[in-house]
Each structure stands twice: as structure tokens, then as C-alpha cells.
Amino acid sequence: MPIQIHTSEPVSVNVKKLIRAEKCHLKGELQEAWDLYKEILQSESEHYAALHGMGLIAAQVKKYDIAVKFFNNAIKVDQSNPRAYSNLANVFASQGLNELALKNYDHALRLDSNYVDAIKNRGIVRAELKQYKGALADFSKVLELQPSYWRAHIYIANVYIATGKLIKALHEYDLALAVSPNSAALCNNIGAILCSMGRYKSALLKLDRAIKINPKYAEAFNNKAVALIGLHREHEAIESYNKAISLNPLYQDALNGKSKLQSSLRP
């Protein structure tokens, strides 16, 4: 979050540098931002925002050990700020250290129980650990706090898919699609679920919609082939597989699906 200053008061050199650093950071000028944060720390070694900013940059470039060091140093400076705990948790999650990630998300949420990013990311980690009840509670809380955050419906749908509750998953995807009707990924995922439920005609409509939105969507063409096979339109399915393969020559699902279908069509 960019800092705010009161123009009626004199602005220190470090505040000016911090403003410039944050602007560079937001524009993706990471080295410039890093150098400015570093300059701040040379004169003020316990500057929370500079430590935290360097942690964020290190995490962005996947230098996780360095990120952990900076976030921990930021926490030493200000143990009441949930952001460093949450971002430290993100670093641990990126490394697959899920238990450490959960510990730090929990700490962030003890400081701010409505911290949406921490709730969402904790839910993702819980889902990876198959703690589905907790994951659903987190994603539901996200929607309670930010009803317009439609991606939470996708996270809930993924939990339902993992637990075999396809009708509930389909409902969540429909809710997300109502908010984001031009999402090719949502149309494709709904089509895939409908295929797995044997509802091939409905699936085909969604997959055609996905392809109309994104004509280079190889996965949608692959799933369309599955729907066409379910409708006994095998030759059209071959064409759809060919399209998927032309878009992604190494797409193994499409290559295997086409080979299997061709074998079944041989006399």
C-alpha cells in the first residue's frame, strides 16, 4: 500500500526515497526499487517499509532465503503489522513449506482477522493439504468480506471437485461466470465438469464459448473433442484434437486422446 504524507509537514529524505522506491516497485523496476530501499536502510537500519519492500522484491525473483531474512527483520521492527507475517507465509508456501506457511498466516490473522489476502492464501494452502473444511471456511470468509471477488468461487469449486462434489462445483463456477462472463478459462472448466458428468451437449456449448473468447485455447479444443466423442461425433473430435495439437504440439492429453480415438475407429 503506497504511503501517504501530509504536505503541511516537512518530508524527510528517506520518505522521498520510499515514495520513489514504491513507484519503481509498482512499475516493475525492481533493481531501481531495491537500490532505493537499500539506501534507506544504510541510514535507518530498522526501517520497516524498506525491509518489507526488499523482502517482496526477493520473493518476486524467487530468492526465497533472502526474502525470509528481510521479512523476519521487518517483523522484529514491527510485530503488530500483519503484512510481513502474511508475505513470509507466502514465501514458505511457494517453497512447499505449508505448515510454516499456515503458522504465519494464522499469526497475521490474529493481528487482523479480516485480512483478505491472508485468509485467501491460507485457504489455498489448506486445500493443498486436503484440509477441505478449513479451506471452504476461508474462501467463504473471503466472499463475505469481498462479495465481488469472484475468484473465490473458483477456489471453492476446486475444493468440491477434489471431494467429488461436481454439482456444487458447477454451481460455484456458474456464480463466478455470472460476474466474469467473458472468461474463457471459466467456460472451459465448466465444460470439463459437464463432460465428466456426461452432459455433453451442455459441455459443447460452454467449450465453444471458450473457444470463441480465446481461439488459441488448446485445452478447450481438447475438451471439446471429449464432448464430441460423447456425442458420437468422432470425426469432428479428430478435427478438434488436431486443432489442440496445432496450438500446442507437445500437448500430451490431446496426442493420447487422438491416438486412442483413431485406434477405435480402425476396422
User: Could you tell me the fold of the domain covering 1-78?
Assistant: 1.25.40
- The span from the first CA to the last CA of the chain, in angstroms, equals 66
Q: What is the pTM of this model?
A: 0.83
Q: What is the pLDDT of residue 4?
A: 45
Tell me the fold of 80-180: 1.25.40
Can you say whether residue 9 is alpha, beta or left, with left for phi > 0 and alpha for psi between -120 and 50 degrees?
beta
Distance between CA atoms of residues 224 and 168, nearest Å: 22
pLDDT, tens digit only, all 267 positions of the chain: 444 434 433 448 888 889 998 999 999 999 998 999 899 999 889 999 999 999 999 999 999 999 999 999 999 999 999 999 999 999 999 999 999 999 999 999 999 999 999 999 999 999 999 999 999 999 999 999 999 999 999 999 999 999 999 999 999 999 999 999 999 999 999 999 999 999 999 999 999 999 999 999 999 999 999 999 999 999 999 999 999 999 999 999 999 999 999 999 887
How far apart (Å, rounded) are the C-alpha atoms in residues 254 and 242? 8
The vertex-202 CA angle with 199 and 204, nearest 5°, equals 105
- Say whether 163 sits in a helix, a strand or coil: coil
Q: Check if the beta carbon of residue 82 is closer than 8 Å to that of residue 109.
A: yes
Count, residues in the chain: 267
Q: What is the pLDDT of residue 131?
A: 97
The angle at the Cα of 166, spanning 160 to 167, to the nearest 5 degrees, equals: 110
Looking at the chain, the domain(s) classified CATH 1.25.40.10 span: 1-78, 80-180, 199-267
Q: Which CATH architecture has domain 199-267?
A: Alpha Horseshoe (1.25)
87 vs 70: CA distance, rounded Å? 11
Query: Contact, 224 vs 191, CB < 8 A?
Result: yes
